[in-house]
Structure 1
Amino acid sequence: MARQRSKSDLPTKICPVCGLSFTWRKKWANCWDDVKYCSERCRRRKSQAQTDE
């Protein structure tokens, strides 16, 4: 059986809306390159982040 990776070994990204870092999740395994937002709430608020810049 394979050893588990520690959470600190997983890749992370910064959410452009809230600015918090979020960690890779198994459900994002096939689409990690496309993931931009940490949550559905931030994905819905993406227009606010673009107008603030």
Structure 2
Amino acid sequence: MAKQRSKSDLPTKICPVCERPFAWRKKWADCWDDVKYCSERCRRRRTQASS
């Protein structure tokens, strides 16, 4: 069985909408470079943040 990583070892990014850090998730394994927002809510609110 594979050794689990601690959450502090995972890569993180800063969400441009809420400006909070968010960590890598397994569902983002194939598209981590394309992920910009921490949640669907922030993705929908992206236009309000840029104004």
Matches within 5 A, 1:1-53: 1-51=1-51
TM-score (norm 2): 0.96
Structure 1 unaligned residues grouped into runs of 5+:
none
Structure 1: 4+ residue segments shifted above 2 A: none
TM-score (norm 1): 0.92
State the identity as a percent: 80
Deviation at 1:49, TM superposition (A): 1.0
Structure 2 unaligned residues grouped into runs of 5+:
none
RMSD of the alignment, in Å?
0.5
